Structure 1
Amino acid sequence: MGNIGSIDEYGGGQGPSADVLVVTTNEVPGCQVDRVLGEVFGLTVRSRHIGSQLGAGLKSLVGGELRGLTKTLVQSRNEAMARLEEQARARGANAVLAMRFDVTEAADVGAEICAYGTAVVISRTS
């Protein structure tokens, strides 16, 4: 297996000190939901870079990972996630449940990446 790059280049997610917990589950073990604040989302739209499109087109002829596009998608998801957290924090939430990503084509010029979920206030059960 070749060099896959650093975790920051090809991965994402929250760090250990996040003040708004974001999970893909409907509940957090050991916690109860005290208040549901509603849906929150973070959105970004990324245009396609002509150079990366040409490179991706050439790479698709021979197969393999499109690393430039992978990095762009990771950056876009992380940006959408940060905006989701910001929205949740602004509403007074300390967690987002059932977080999902949605990626769609944006008028044939790029991609819309949306992170969404339910903003809640949780507390530990003892």
Structure 2
Amino acid sequence: MAGILVTTTENIPGQDYEIIGEVFGLTTQSKNIVRNVGAGLKNLVGGEIKDYTKMMVEARDVAIERLRANAVEQGADAVVMMRFDSGSIGTDMQSVAAYGTAVKFK
């Protein structure tokens, strides 16, 4: 699936394509209780909470891979106008959505 081009731009230079439709990649991630306690302690002194940053990077990567898989299922060659959306669920879960438009090269 790494062969599926994913771009945030509307146009792919030098490519003519037809639009297939919307594609999505969704994931919800959480950290275990021990890491949550560590994050709470870090919150007292300030600074980056590296475990949560790592969790968000992992969530982003999973969302993109699922977006690519959704595009492959629809017979796409690429995804244009890819965007992310994220949000919290409770105090220790993050949801990430990657979405865009699947296209087929002519």
Give the counterpart of 1:37 among 13, 17, 20.
Answer: 20
Specify the SS of the correspondent of 2:70: helix
Query: Where does structure 2 lack aligned partners over 5 or more consecutive residues?
Result: none
Give the counterpart of 2:84 among 101, 108, 112.
Answer: 101
Any conservation in 1 of the 2:87–2:94 contact (CA below 8 Å)? Answer: yes
Q: Which residue of 2 aligns with 1:28?
A: 12
The structural deviation recorded for 1:18 is 2.7
Q: Which residue of 2 aligns with 1:122?
A: 105
Q: How does 1:39-58 map to 2 (within 5 A)?
A: 39-58=22-41
Q: Which runs of 4+ in 1 moved over 6 A?
A: none
The structural deviation recorded for 1:58 is 1.4
Aligned equivalents of 2:69, 2:98: Cα separation in 1: 12
CA offset digits 1:65-84 (Å, max 9, x no partner): 11111111111110111000
Q: How does 1:13-92 map to 2 (within 5 A)?
A: 18-33=2-17, 35-92=18-75
CA RMSD across the alignment: 1.6
Identity %: 46
State the TM-score, normalized to the length of structure 1. 0.76
The 10-residue stretch of structure 1 (79-88 or 40-49) with the greater mean CA deviation from structure 2: 40-49
**Paired amino acid for 1:55:** G
Aligned equivalents of 2:31, 2:53: Cα separation in 1: 12
